[in-house]
A and B are shown apart, each in its own frame.
Chain A
Amino acid sequence: MSSANANTVGVSIEKSVHDSVWQGSLNLVDVARARNFAWLHVAEARIRNMMKWWGSIAAFGLGNPVLYLFSVGIGIGALVDSNGSASQLGGVSYLTFLAPALLASASIQAFQDETSFPVMEGFLWNKNFFAMNATPITGRDIVNGLLAAALARTVVTVGIYEGVLLAFGAITLDVALPMFFSAILTGAAFGSVMLAVTTYVKEDDGFFAIVGRFIIAPMMMFSGTFYPLESMPFYLQWVGWISPLWHGTDLGRTISYGSAQQGWVTISHWVYLALWISVGLTLGYRQMAKRLAA
């Protein structure tokens, strides 16, 4: 028995060593290719991870708009519309008024999920950013890859959302494409800053509770989501002005039903959202690299 065992062990070692020829990384690894597609490889890894939860992502993506549209859009909408508030809403039904805001916030939500949790995972829970950084992948690649993966998920989420909005008659087909882009841009603006902020988090003590209560919730309430920003007291309107959600919502409304806006206001929305992306990227690149090198 013992000699048979010894043999088996011997054989398994032999086999594992001889079944292929060792080429060596100088022959095997195409450095230029690894570098050029580095961000894509990070995105690929992130999407592989995401696919473990695709069921929940799809269910949430579909369930969220349906629930909102029934309860708030149609339920509260009936109340609002019967009170003759159309003039304050730019002459449209409450459902039409609400739709661009819901779409922009769904985009923000999707980006938020994909830019905060993976960063906590990468630095604290799993430490897999350090594993990535031991390969040709750099901190900048990780930022770009995470954002690309977040974008991929948001494209699906916003796509589903728009489908539901169309089905409810909350938007029209001709504005679907520009609204799609403005919603994605809004999410990307928020997400790139969220990612940058999360790279600064050193300990996992209630960070997400703080973000949820003190950033997401007030942003939802004070960004002209459920009523026009102008109907809020003036001293609270500043929350809307800095909030990417308000800029995205106002942009979406302009596209959807042409709520009277001057051209420069529309342009300032695009510029403001683009500015968030560039600030997020700048800070994110810097802090990510710094933390990986520590």
Chain B
Amino acid sequence: MIVARGLRKVYGDFVAVDGIDFEVRKGEAFGLLGPNGAGKSTTMKMIASVSKRTGGELTILGLDPNKRGPEIRAHLGVVPQQDNLDRELKVHENLFAYGRFFGLSRKFLKTKVEELLEFAQLTEKRNAKAEELSGGMKRRLTIARGLVNEPEILMLDEPTTGLDPQARHILWDRLFRLKEQGVTLVITTHYMDEAEQLCDRLIVMDKGKIMAEGSPADLIKRFASKEVLEVRFGSSKNIEIAEQIFHLGHRTEVLPDRILIYSENGEEDLQAILKLGLEPVTSLVRRSSLEDVFLRLTGRTLVE
């Protein structure tokens, strides 16, 4: 569905995307992860066929977006990071008007709009102006709008930011079903649980480059241990104590508030710590998550 080879985007002398390669197959849920400024949104804009690439190759549905953008966009559903609804129009008019941009018939849209209102749980708000909706409702409407043309590829840029847990889980369910119907999903997200839930495969980007690629389970296996032991001794003692337990696990990370020990068996390591006569204030053994991978690959420093 999507093939990128050496894909590059340069703004002036700033390299936003620095020669990346990836492939997205039909019916796959593909994730783009990375800290702010990693080049995810720029990559999304190039796939969405609105922003032209500076270099490399990109084909979507077998077509070149630099030449046949409108034709490709006919088959995309785009949920942008920032809701760009028509504030003056009513909820149902927003869906209808958007459907018209795809040349869809009024007759088809009449039923489609009702269906999407129900999907977004906005049936009761159908006659409210878009600007009167709450943040979560706007988000749901934007997502529903992206489905109006029954897209082959649905692109979601941080889809659940601003949604409450109920709406989030309902959306995940719906996205999963769309995937089962053969819709290809391209998702960016800051939520690692969301990426683990939804994505078959993902890339982790940083500074315009791909740091790693694989399935969530695969990435955890490659870049993190099976389990993580988190212990807290109080912020003043962490560094001092870390030296005594450095031999435990594959890797130890000392943070201001806690020590993380990446290991195969967290419980065993915890026992070892207790045997040394050390008494952590709190301790927690958990499975490694995508978040551990993400932080390892892109660092803990804030980049804005």
CB distance from A142 to the nearest CB of B (A): 10
- Encode contact with A along B74-117: 1 for CB under 8 Å, 0 otherwise: 11101010101111110001000110111110001001100100
Q: Which of chain B's residues has its CB closest to A135's CB? A: B101
Q: B170 to chain A: which residues have CB within 8 Å?
A: 13
Q: Is B269 an interface residue (CB 8 A)?
A: no
Contact A49 B86 (CB under 8 A): yes
A15 in the interface (beta carbon within 8 A): yes
Question: When each residue 30-74 of chain B gets 1 if its CB lies under 8 Å from chain A and 0 otherwise, what string results?
Answer: 000000000000000000101110000000000000000111011
Q: By the criterion CB–CB under 8 Å, are B173 and A34 in contact?
A: no
For chain A, the bracket of interface size reads 35 or more
Instruction: Write the residues of chain A forming the contact surface with B, with a CB cutoff of 8 angstroms.
Output: 12-13, 15-17, 19-20, 22-26, 28-31, 33-35, 37-38, 41-42, 44-45, 48-49, 52, 125-128, 130-138, 292-294
Query: A25-B75, A130-B80, A134-B80 in contact; A35/B101 too (CB < 8 A)?
Result: no
Q: Considering only CB atoms, which chain A residue lies closest to B77 in the complex?
A: A25
How far, in angstroms, from A248 to B278 measured CA to CA in the complex?
91
Q: Which of B99-152 contact A (CB under 8 A)?
A: 100-104, 108, 111-112, 115, 118-119, 121, 145, 149-152
CA of A29 to CA of B152, assembled, Å: 11
CB atoms of A25 and B115 under 8 A apart: no
Say yes or no: is B174 at the interface (Cβ < 8 Å to chain A).
Answer: yes
* Size range of the chain B interface in the assembly: 35 or more
Indicate which residue in A26, A29, A49, A126 contacts B102 across the interface (CB closer than 8 Å). A29
A13-B173, A128-B86 given; 8 more Cβ-contact pairs under 8 Å: A16-B118, A26-B152, A29-B102, A29-B149, A38-B103, A126-B88, A130-B84, A293-B51
Q: Determine if A136 and B98 form an interchain contact, defined as CB atoms under 8 angstroms apart.
A: no
Specify the chain A residue showing the minimal Cβ separation from B100. Answer: A41
* Closest chain B residue, CB of each to CB of A22: B181
Q: Are A135 and B98 in contact (CB under 8 A)?
A: yes
**CB-based contact B149/A28 at 8 Å:** yes
A49, B98: Cβ atoms under 8 Å? no
B250 CB–A CB distance under 8 Å: no
B234 on the interface (CB 8 Å rule)?
A: no
Write the nearest CB–CB distance from B150 to chain A, whole angstroms.
5
Of chain B, the residue at the smallest CB distance from A133 is B50
